[in-house]
Structure 1
């Protein structure tokens, strides 16, 4: 029995599936209405973070992305844990994808980082 004819379709199907899964991670449509303005930067996994004024997260290591407009309701049940000028307790672990928005209105110049939250876990 020759298995070669079956291996090619299986290989193509596997590659197509992997491409579709990896492309969704970089898809900015979960972030906001101006999809053309959001550019994928990186993925965050199991990062220690604090919620800052229900506007964004301060992540251990220096990132401070805002919450994507389409995800603002997702963080409503969580309490603010960031305290300026004090050591951070990092009360949350977060998973998500950071995008830069080059054309979003902000108070600073340059691209503004936004995060699509995939998962939030509160640490006691």
Structure 2
């Protein structure tokens, strides 16, 4: 009888642990193929931005990160608001984390930023 008191909490703890491992958010440092390592650069909060070809954001102030590959489909239906050569309306406010993809194939040695969007709001 004493053993039952200890087994039940142990089973509960094991179930919670398994659920937290299987239901956790995708780690943004592994949002691309395994050979591409993402290194944290900075966090953006309440930044004005425009969506560019459903592939990335142009953020007021100069950043232009691509959307992290595991989130690309999420933004496929969003309105593209970036127009090259024209003043930008900055129709979105975004919150997220910018990472450099050090293993991504590029033509330059410059950082290759990607963003994980945590929150987005459309501004009218």
4+ runs deviating over 4 angstroms: none
Q: Which residue of 1 aligns with 2:32?
A: 32
Name structure 1 gaps, 5 residues minimum.
1-23
Cα distance in 2, alignment partners of residues 67 and 56 from structure 1: 5
TM-score by length of 2: 0.72
Q: Which residue of 2 aligns with 1:79?
A: 79
SS at match of 1:73: helix
Please say which structure displays the higher CA radius of gyration. 2
Please, what is the CA RMSD of the aligned residues? 1.9
Q: Which residue of 1 aligns with 2:69?
A: 69
SS at match of 2:43: strand
Name structure 2 gaps, 5 residues minimum.
1-24
Cα distance in 2, alignment partners of residues 72 and 81 from structure 1: 16
CA contact (8 A) 1:103 1:111 kept: no
Cα distance in 2, alignment partners of residues 59 and 107 from structure 1: 22
TM-score by length of 1: 0.72
